[in-house]
Chains A and B, each alone.
Chain A
Amino acid sequence: MLELLSTRHNPMIDPALHVWGWEVPVYLFLGGWVAGAMVLSGWLLRRGLVEERPSVVRALPWIGLVLISLGMGALFLDLEHRLYVWRMYTTFQPTSPMSWGGWILLGVYPVLALTGVATVPAALADAWAPLGALARRLRAPAARDLLGLANIAIGVGLGVYTGILLSSLGARPLWASGALGPLFLVSGLSTGAAFAHLIARDPGEQSTLLRSDNLFLVTELALIALFLIGLSSAGAAPAQAAGLLLGGPYTAAFWVLVVGLGIALPLAIQSLMAAGRVGHTRVAPLLVIGGGLALRFVIVAAGQFSAWP
């Protein structure tokens, strides 16, 4: 038996750490979503599909700008010393994923804006000559390929960093997993693909996005398995942390909202859609998006609850 009595009673620390509320998971979710959207935009740009069809690439950058701004707004609300936020940009701390993230976010805006201009509809480009000229220059094959590459690079950086942000905080055994970065990246790709699928009009593009999303969902399931197996076999504290999701207080939320409704069910529906066994439905991508949000909430909350003995 071990009974621990402590006179400490610091707010947000005791009895269990709860410094991060809704703001951080919402930011991680929106950041991951935008990361996924950027990777997909980059891929579609490089495939040159923009001119051929009314591609979702035309909408994704502008929606991405709104989403990333909402995410950064949530992050700003989480800060306790908000007027000092500019301090992030007077330094670069190479050991801090949060510092990396702050600088990556600065790269997201121009890349999304340039992608938006490159894919602007012809009617709009014709209406304002300078916009049309810039769009034509960005659509040149070399510039378009470079823009596509920038989308993919920054999207991957943004997606991975949201996971590494947590896994670098070694004090929380649940987060002490190398699988968290890839898991959050793939979850972001899945969310981005689901959303693109939701707004796509072109049947060919819908089909491509559907199949891509299914691939991401299967990968996500594999990474979740890797995450749990890795923790369970890594020692007493990580195994105890994994127990929070395997019988502990976060089990129901994790398996029902994240794995069941957020991955397995939409994967089943979308697999049937891909096989032509059921008609097109927006329910599945909406479930995927909800699952991505639930994943961040569960991992952030359970991670804070976990501790070294």
Chain B
Amino acid sequence: MTRFGMAIDTAKCVGCMDCVVACKTENDVPDGHCRDWIAQRVEGRLPDLRLTITSERCNHCDRPPCVTCCPTGASHVHEYGRVVLVDHDKCIGCKACVASCPYGARFMHPEGYADKCTFCIHRVEQGLQPACVEVCPTRCMTFGDLDDPHSEVSRLVAGRRHFVLKPDAGTQPRIFYLE
């Protein structure tokens, strides 16, 4: 069964925000909102500081609390690739999914429904890459099937040291940051 995920090489990401602009353009994300964003973490103590740049978005978790809390079934796991999606016509705008996401990946669209990254499933179904992956100038993002051990994303996750965001939240995210 296909299970889409992403590996993002933090050694290559320069935080140029091309992925953010591409997403906003491709998905017509309303002004003042974003489905993906850039975070910069500075850790350590002078002079031993370490900067990690991460391109972040919905983690399409294997245990998505946004899906289990939804009272109408609007938030659901799509059968193709197990991508977490929102059916706009079923969403009542209760915001439980927004409150349940530890990553703050969801927001309320001005038209009243919960919105978030879809892994550009409309492109993926046509054999294309998500817009953010497509435009990345450093090719730091790799998208693919985590259930296929021969896929590029699976090999990267298996072969490189990596971390996920907020592991203690227990959601089993499917975006892996390569160190």
Binding site for B on A (CB under 8 A): 1-14, 17, 19-20, 78-82, 84-85, 87-88, 90-91, 93, 95-99, 101-102, 165, 168-172, 235-237, 304, 307-309
Contact = CB atoms under 8 A, between A and B. Distances in A.
Nearest to B104: A13
A170 B170 contact: yes
A170 B168 CA distance: 10
A17 B99 contact: yes
Contacts of B37: 6-8
B88 to A, nearest CB: 8
A80 B32 contact: no
Contact of B38 (A7, A79, A168): A7
Contacts of A235: 168
A148 B41 CA distance: 58
Most B CB contacts (10 A, CB to CB) among A1, A13, A81 go to: A81
Contact of A14 (B20, B45, B69, B104): B104
B169 A84 contact: no
Given A3-B41, A169-B69, A11 B169 contact: no
Given A7-B37, A81-B113, A95 B99 contact: no
A171 B101 contact: yes
20 contacts: A1-B42, A1-B45, A2-B41, A2-B43, A6-B38, A10-B107, A13-B106, A17-B98, A19-B95, A78-B94, A80-B108, A81-B91, A81-B93, A87-B74, A96-B69, A168-B100, A169-B96, A171-B65, A171-B101, A308-B168
Nearest to B70: A96
Most A CB contacts (10 A, CB to CB) among B45, B112, B169 go to: B169
B43 A11 contact: no
A180 to B, nearest CB: 14
Contact of A80 (B20, B89, B93): B93
Nearest to A86: B92
B30 to A, nearest CB: 10
Contacts of A82: 92-93, 112
Given A2-B41, A84-B93, A91 B73 contact: yes
Nearest to A80: B93
A177 B170 CA distance: 15
Interface string B55-89: 01000000001001111111000000000000001
B5 to A, nearest CB: 20
B39 interface: yes
Contacts of B71: 88, 93, 96, 98-99, 101-102
A304 B99 CA distance: 7
B40 A12 contact: no
A79 B65 CA distance: 19
B104 A172 contact: no
A169 B93 contact: no
A84 B89 CA distance: 8
Contacts of A101: 71
B100 A3 contact: no
Given A84-B89, A84-B90, A102-B71, 12 more contacts: A1-B44, A1-B45, A4-B40, A5-B39, A82-B92, A82-B93, A88-B71, A96-B71, A98-B96, A168-B68, A169-B100, A171-B102
Contacts of A10: 32-34, 104, 107
A17 B71 CA distance: 20
Given A78-B94, A81-B93, A84-B90, A97 B168 contact: no
B17 interface: yes
Given A10-B33, A80-B95, A98-B71, A170 B65 contact: yes
B166 interface: yes
A13 B107 contact: yes
A79 B108 CA distance: 11
Given A5-B39, A80-B113, A11 B108 contact: yes
B10 to A, nearest CB: 14
B39 A6 contact: yes
